[in-house]
Structure 1
Amino acid sequence: MRIALLSDIHANLPAFEAVLEDLQKQKPDAVYCLGDLVGYNVWPNQVIGLIRSHGIATIAGNHDLKVSKIHPSKETCSTEKSSEYAYKLVGSKERDYLLTLPRHLKVEFQLHEDTLNMLLVHGSPRSINEYLLEQLPEDYMIEMVKEFKADILCFGHSHKPYHRIINSRENGADHFHHLINTGSVGKPKDGDARACYVMLTIGPPASTKSHDGVQVEFIRVKYDVEKAAQAVELGFLPDAFADNLRKAY
Structure 2
Amino acid sequence: MKIALFSDIHANLPAFEAVLEDLEKQKPDAVYCLGDLIGYNVWPNQVIEHIRKRGIATIAGNHDLKVSKILPSAGACSTDQRSDYAYKLVGQKERDYLLTLPRHLKLEFQFGKDHLNMLLVHGSPRSINEYLLEELPEQYMLDLVTEFKADILCFGHSHKPYHRIINSGKDGGDHYHHLINTGSVGKPKDGDSRACYVMLTINQSATTTSADGVQVEFMRVKYDIEKAAQAIELSMLSDALADNLRKAY
What TM bracket, shorter-length normalisation? over 0.9
Aligned partner of 1:42: which letter?
Answer: V
C-alpha separation in 1, matches of 2:32 and 2:64: 16
Q: How does 1:75-86 map to 2 (within 5 A)?
A: 75=75, 77-78=76-77, 80=79, 82-86=82-86
5+ residue gaps, structure 2, are none
Match of 2:146, SS state, is: helix
Match of 1:83, SS state, is: helix
What is aligned with 2:208? 208
C-alpha separation in 1, matches of 2:60 and 2:40: 16
Aligned partner of 1:197: which letter?
Answer: Y
Residue 171 of structure 1 deviates from its aligned partner by 5.1
Residue 79 of structure 1 deviates from its aligned partner by 5.1
Match of 1:16, SS state, is: helix
Q: How does 1:1-249 map to 2 (within 5 A)?
A: 1-75=1-75, 77-78=76-77, 80=79, 82-170=82-170, 172-249=172-249
Match of 2:199, SS state, is: strand
5+ residue gaps, structure 1, are none
C-alpha separation in 1, matches of 2:228 and 2:17: 12
C-alpha separation in 2, matches of 1:172 and 1:70: 53
Give the TM-score normalised by the residue count of structure 1. 0.98
Aligned partner of 2:239: which letter?
Answer: D
C-alpha separation in 2, matches of 1:31 and 1:9: 14
C-alpha separation in 2, matches of 1:120 and 1:23: 19
Provide, for residues 13-65 of structure 1, a one-character-per-residue CA deviation record: whole Å limited to 9, x for no partner.
00000000000000000000000000000000000000000110000000000
Residue 122 of structure 1 deviates from its aligned partner by 0.1
Contact 2:11 2:37 (C-alpha < 8 Å) held by counterparts:
yes
How many pairs does the alignment contain? Answer: 248
Identity among equivalent positions (%) equals 80
C-alpha separation in 2, matches of 1:104 and 1:213: 24
C-alpha separation in 1, matches of 2:221 and 2:83: 26
Residue 144 of structure 1 deviates from its aligned partner by 0.4
Aligned partner of 1:105: which letter?
Answer: L
C-alpha separation in 2, matches of 1:82 and 1:132: 29
C-alpha separation in 1, matches of 2:245 and 2:8: 13
Give the TM-score normalised by the residue count of structure 2. 0.98
